[in-house]
């Protein structure tokens, strides 16, 4: 019998994106320790399998599997959801964790890179997995946003379909993280009456690979600055995934407690507009 078969079939099931490094990797560990079967939806099989080997060394009974996922491509997102659904009918926990900042360009479907990966990819993935989520007893969707949303004063819709323009991609990243918070709150509005709870969060400022696109001259800031470890960075994700009350659905967290995001992130009309436009965009493909 394989180690996977040894796990109780009633164990809760989680899917997390961008789990091969950084915050995601330590979030997986926390989930495994709480008895979850975890699907790690990531771009690179090689990087993910290396992490799985490391996890199994310290947690030999862990149930962890790689699912291919490139959030910059709708077809890959749809295939990822299909592969999951071939194996599981129900999903207890979805963690939209993967993210890019400072990577410039367009996704395959022509969205600005940060908006396309951080928001559109996760919007589509959540949509494709919704039936499986709603089959779970008390499903949750956790979306890793950022305090960087504080630098976005709304969404300029015309820029969403243009290549990344801002210096270092910072402004575009801020907009994508504003979109993460608006998405999470609208998701709660649309589905909380069916039992789904949603959370968005700022994980802290983390010494992870996230900074890989910074110009080399700025790297010492990351190396010597007051950043926290990826393990510490996973704490708020794990709090939202495992311990936050279901009644707190739709809120934004930092340091494992509810925080007030900006007035733009609390704008119900903007949240609805983003939802409607995103729904239209995924229909067009």
Ligand X SMILES: NC(=O)c1ccc[n+]([C@@H]2O[C@H](COP(=O)([O-])OP(=O)(O)OC[C@H]3O[C@@H](n4cnc5c(N)ncnc54)[C@H](OP(=O)(O)O)[C@@H]3O)[C@@H](O)[C@H]2O)c1
**Contacts to ligand X by CB under 6 A:** 17-18, 20-24, 42-44, 47, 69-72, 97-101, 117, 144, 146, 202-203, 205-206, 208-210, 230
Nearest distance in Å: CB 17, ligand X = 6
φ, ψ dihedrals at 65, nearest 5° = -140, 145
**CA 209 – CA 25 distance, rounded (Å):** 12
DSSP state string for 161-183: TS---SGGGHHHHHHHHHHHHHH
> Which one, of 257, 205, 199, lies nearest residue 232 by Cα?
205
Nearest distance in Å: CB 56, ligand X = 19
253 labelled catalytic: no
- In this complex, which beta carbon is closest to ligand X, that of residue 136 or of residue 172? 172
From the list 26, 36, 39, 173, the catalytic residue is: 173
* Cα–Cα distance list, 121 to 25, 29, 30, 72, 99 (Å): 19, 24, 24, 6, 10
**CA 181 – CA 14 distance, rounded (Å):** 21
- In this complex, which beta carbon is closest to ligand X, that of residue 6 or of residue 108? 108
Nearest distance in Å: CB 247, ligand X = 25
Q: Which two tokens stand for residue 6?
A: 């040894």
Nearest distance in Å: CB 208, ligand X = 3
Q: Which two tokens stand for residue 131?
A: 């039936």
- In this complex, which beta carbon is closest to ligand X, that of residue 136 or of residue 199? 199
- In this complex, which beta carbon is closest to ligand X, that of residue 73 or of residue 90? 73
Burial of 71 (0-12, 13-18, 19+ CB in 10 A): buried
**Catalytic residue positions?**
173
């Amino acid at each position: 019998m394989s180690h996977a078969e040894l796990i109780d079939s009633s164990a809760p099931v989680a899917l997390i994106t961008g789990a091969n490094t950084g915050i995601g990797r330590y979030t997986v560990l926390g989930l495994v320790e709480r008895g979850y079967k975890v699907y790690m939806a990531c771009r690179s099989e090689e990087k993910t399998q290396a992490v799985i080997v490391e996890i199994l060394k310290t947690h030999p009974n862990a149930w962890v599997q790689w699912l291919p996922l490139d959030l910059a491509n709708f077809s890959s997102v749809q295939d990822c959801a299909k592969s999951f659904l071939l194996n599981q009918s129900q999903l207890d926990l979805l963690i939209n964790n993967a993210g890019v900042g400072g990577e410039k360009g367009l996704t395959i479907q022509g969205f600005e890179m940060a908006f396309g990966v951080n928001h559109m990819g996760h919007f589509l993935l959540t949509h494709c997995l919704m039936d499986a989520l709603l089959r779970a007893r008390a499903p949750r969707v956790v979306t890793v946003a950022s305090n960087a949303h504080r630098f976005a004063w709304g969404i300029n819709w015309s820029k969403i379909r243009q290549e990344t323009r801002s210096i270092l991609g910072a402004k575009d990243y801020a907009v994508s993280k504003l979109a993460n918070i608006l998405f999470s709150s609208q998701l709660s509005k649309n589905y909380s009456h069916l039992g789904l709870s949603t959370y968005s969060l700022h994980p802290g400022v983390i010494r992870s690979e996230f900074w890989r696109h910074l110009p080399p001259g700025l790297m010492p800031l990351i190396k010597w600055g007051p950043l926290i470890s990826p393990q510490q960075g996973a704490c708020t994700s794990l709090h939202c995934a495992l311990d936050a009350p279901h009644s707190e659905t739709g809120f934004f967290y930092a340091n494992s407690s509810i925080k007030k995001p900006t007035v733009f992130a609390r704008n119900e009309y903007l949240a609805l507009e983003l939802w409607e436009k995103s729904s239209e965009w995924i229909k067009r493909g």
